[in-house]
Structure 1
Amino acid sequence: MGEARDDPAGAGLVGFGGAAVVPLDELPRTASPAACFFGVDSDISRRFGENSDGAATFVRHWSARMQPWTRRHRPRATDVGVLSGAAGDLVRSVSEVASTVFAAGYVPVVVGGDHTVSYPVAVTAAKRHEDLTYVYLDAHLDLGFHLDDSDDVHNGNFVAALVRSGAFREIVNVGARAWTTHDDVYGDDGPVTLVRDVDPAALSALRGRKVHVSLDVDVFDPVYVPNTGSREPFGASPEQVRHVMSWIADHCTVVSADVSEVLPDPAHRATAEIAMRCVHELVKERQKQ
Structure 2
Amino acid sequence: MKTYTLAPPDNFGALPGGYSRYESSRAVIFPVPLERTTTYMAGTRNGPAAIIAASRNMELYDEELACETFLKCGIATLHPMDTQEGPLEKVFAELHTTELNLLNDGKFPVVLGGEHSLTAPLVSAAARKFPDLTVLQIDAHADLRDCYQDNRSSHASVMRRVVEICPAIQVGIRSLSVEEAAAIPKLPTKIYWARDIVHAPLNTWLPLVLADLSANVYLTVDLDGFDPAYVPATGTPEPGGLDWYQVTSLIREVAAMKNIVAMDVVELLPQPGDHASDFLAAKLIYKTLGYVLCRA
Q: Structure 1-normalised TM-score? A: 0.82
| Cα 1:260–1:122 shift into 2, 3 Å | same
| Cα 1:21–1:43 shift into 2, 3 Å | farther
Within 5 A, what are the aligned runs for 1:30-179?
Answer: 34-66=26-58, 68-69=60-61, 72-75=68-71, 76-84=74-82, 85-86=84-85, 88=88, 89-144=90-145, 150=150, 152-164=152-164, 167-168=165-166, 170-179=167-176
Checking the alignment, whether the CA contact within 8 Å between 1:4 and 1:60 is kept in structure 2 is no
Q: Is 1:276–2:273 an aligned residue pair?
A: no
Query: How big is each residue's C-alpha offset from its partner over 1:202-221, in whole Å with a ceiling of 9 and x where there is no partner?
Result: 42314661000000000011
Q: Match for 1:16 among 12, 16, 25?
A: 12
One-letter code of the match for 1:81? H
Query: How big is each residue's C-alpha offset from its partner over 1:212-269, in whole Å with a ceiling of 9 and x where there is no partner?
Result: 0000000011111111001100111112111111111111101111000000224112
| Cα 1:183–1:40 shift into 2, 3 Å | closer
Checking the alignment, whether the CA contact within 8 Å between 1:227 and 1:263 is kept in structure 2 is yes
Checking the alignment, whether the CA contact within 8 Å between 1:21 and 1:81 is kept in structure 2 is no
| Cα 1:93–1:17 shift into 2, 3 Å | farther
Counting matched residue pairs gives 273
Checking the alignment, whether the CA contact within 8 Å between 2:92 and 2:121 is kept in structure 1 is yes
Checking the alignment, whether the CA contact within 8 Å between 2:69 and 2:286 is kept in structure 1 is no
One-letter code of the match for 1:232? E
Query: How big is each residue's C-alpha offset from its partner over 1:106-153, in whole Å with a ceiling of 9 and x where there is no partner?
Result: 1111001110121221111111111110111010110115x6684531
Query: How big is each residue's C-alpha offset from its partner over 1:6-63, in whole Å with a ceiling of 9 and x where there is no partner?
Result: xxxxxx32523455679x9x73166xxx321110123143245433222111111112
Checking the alignment, whether the CA contact within 8 Å between 1:17 and 1:65 is kept in structure 2 is yes
Name stretches of at least 5 consecutive residues in structure 2 with no aligned partner.
none
- Output the CA distance in 1 between the equivalents of 2:103 and 2:209: 26
Question: Who is 1:194 aligned against?
Answer: 191
Q: Is 1:219–2:225 an aligned residue pair?
A: yes
Checking the alignment, whether the CA contact within 8 Å between 1:17 and 1:66 is kept in structure 2 is yes
Sequence identity of aligned pairs in percent?
21
1:191 Cα offset (Å): 3.3
Q: Match for 1:27 among 22, 29, 32?
A: 22
Question: Who is 1:9 aligned against?
Answer: none
- Output the CA distance in 1 between the equivalents of 2:242 and 2:130: 30
Checking the alignment, whether the CA contact within 8 Å between 1:214 and 1:257 is kept in structure 2 is yes
Q: Structure 2-normalised TM-score? A: 0.80
Checking the alignment, whether the CA contact within 8 Å between 1:138 and 1:176 is kept in structure 2 is yes
| Cα 1:183–1:156 shift into 2, 3 Å | closer
Q: Is 1:185–2:182 an aligned residue pair?
A: yes
| Cα 1:281–1:93 shift into 2, 3 Å | same
Q: Is 1:285–2:277 an aligned residue pair?
A: no
| Cα 1:239–1:182 shift into 2, 3 Å | farther
Checking the alignment, whether the CA contact within 8 Å between 2:145 and 2:180 is kept in structure 1 is no
Name whichever of 215-224 and 270-279 sits farther off.
Answer: 270-279
SS for the counterpart of 1:81 is coil
Checking the alignment, whether the CA contact within 8 Å between 1:20 and 1:77 is kept in structure 2 is no
One-letter code of the match for 2:190? T
